[in-house]
Amino acid sequence: MTMVSPSLLSADFGNLQRDIEMLNASECDWYHLDVMDGVFVPNISFGFPVMQAMAKHATKPLDVHLMIVQPEKFIKEVKALGARVMNVHYEACTHLHRVIQAIKAEGMLAGVTLNPHTPVSVLEEIAPDLDLVMLMSVNPGFGGQKFIPSMVEKTRKLRALLDRTGSKALIEVDGGVNRETGKLLVEAGADVLVAGSAIFGASDPVAEVAALMSL
């Protein structure tokens, strides 16, 4: 089945414990945490004190996506959260191989995220070292954006690159994901769907998670 990582950026920040406990009862695989610094992306989300509070109530692994400059400075802090996945942006890492090895050394799955304009070819040399590649299907920084249709073909290209290089990395896609776009992405080779508005805006979020997993 397709893996689903609900984005807590779309949760009710006034009722985070309630929303996390709701997802605890769902079949979702991970919780997706978007960290924004107002520098790498034009918005600020939440930092480590809030994520520590989230982690206390979460029974699913944390999928931490750092949309920040110099993400390598926070590897140990992400590990301390109990995170399963640490995702860094290709565009934010001058020495990407070093960052990936440092993440792995802490026992986490190492993920690299690509912005919509960044071609998958930039990962040619490092693909075999990755546990996960996440494609942004919106421009990062804000929730609730419209899906960029060309990201379906980009997912196909990434799947071909991973197969060609012998990489076992999962393909994760984040941005504008719902049942319609999710189906196209899974058919193109996506393994993990990040969904925020589609889940938290649904009348039955738990049922929506199940629907996305069955795509």
What averages of pLDDT result for each successive group of 10 residues across the chain (215 residues)? 96 96 97 96 94 97 97 97 97 97 98 98 98 95 84 98 98 97 98 97 97 97
Residue 140's pLDDT is 81
Residue 143's pLDDT is 72
pTM of the model: 0.96
Residues acting as catalytic residues: 34, 174
Radius of gyration of the chain (CA): 16
Answer yes or no: are the C-beta atoms of 143 and 196 closer than 8 Å: yes
Residue 96's pLDDT is 98
Region of residue 141 (left: phi > 0; alpha: psi -120 to 50; beta: else)? left
Residue 204's pLDDT is 97
Residue 20's pLDDT is 98
Residue 160's pLDDT is 98
Residue 59's pLDDT is 97
Residue 141's pLDDT is 75
What Cα–Cα distance (Å) separates residue 215 from each residue in 17, 76, 185, 199, 208?
28, 35, 9, 14, 11
CA-CA distance, 3 to 176, in Å (whole number)?
16
Q: How many residues does the chain have?
A: 215
